[in-house]
A and B are shown apart, each in its own frame.
Chain A
């Protein structure tokens, strides 16, 4: 079955810096890769997603890149703000989630 590995598990950056979170997946048939943000005590919320026929997608300060050959995809957050602090999850094939990255943005 599908397996997703996510790194790093924790990430601390200064406000205004960029943050990058990386995921690898095992099933080459996977074709949908969403990213979720989960604040403490709240539900996961979709922030961006990418399909396998696209290499990169951007939405304001957030971008996702996909390398199908290497079976990895990454989340890039530029100009980080304190409100970006949360746990971020990647997923493959909609249903299989990574272990999460706790992002802390220090003012």
Chain B
């Protein structure tokens, strides 16, 4: 039984570039959430999608966007990258709005 998967595992970008991160939820899970985790801090909520609809948005600028596809996979896009966007980006899936299971994360470094 496959868990949540994310790609790529690591990414290096330069300031001003754009990045797309991908997430595949556990089979049968319809909700996907995205988090940013800076070293030494707790995960910060970015977006939640359920049944392809945005259900929640955290306190992040409009440079961050996301979508969920008919197969419930999801993409997180970040435009005009800043040095401060360097972080571990976590995706989590859940059957409904309760127990979440996290993917391994994508580690983004912005130079």
* A interface residue numbers (CB < 8 A to B): 1, 6, 32, 34, 36, 42-46, 49, 89, 94-100
Contacts and interface: CB of A to CB of B under 8 A. Distances in A.
Interface stretch (B15-23, B77-85, B102-110): B102-110
11 contacts: A43-B104, A44-B102, A45-B102, A46-B99, A46-B100, A89-B42, A94-B98, A95-B33, A95-B48, A95-B56, A99-B41
B102 A43 contact: yes
A97 B46 CA distance: 12
Contacts of A32: 97-98
Contacts of A34: 99-100
B95 to A, nearest CB: 12
Interface of B: 33, 35, 40-45, 48, 56, 58-59, 90, 94, 97-105
Nearest to B105: A43
Nearest to A99: B42
Given A43-B90, A44-B90, A97 B42 contact: yes
A44 B59 CA distance: 21
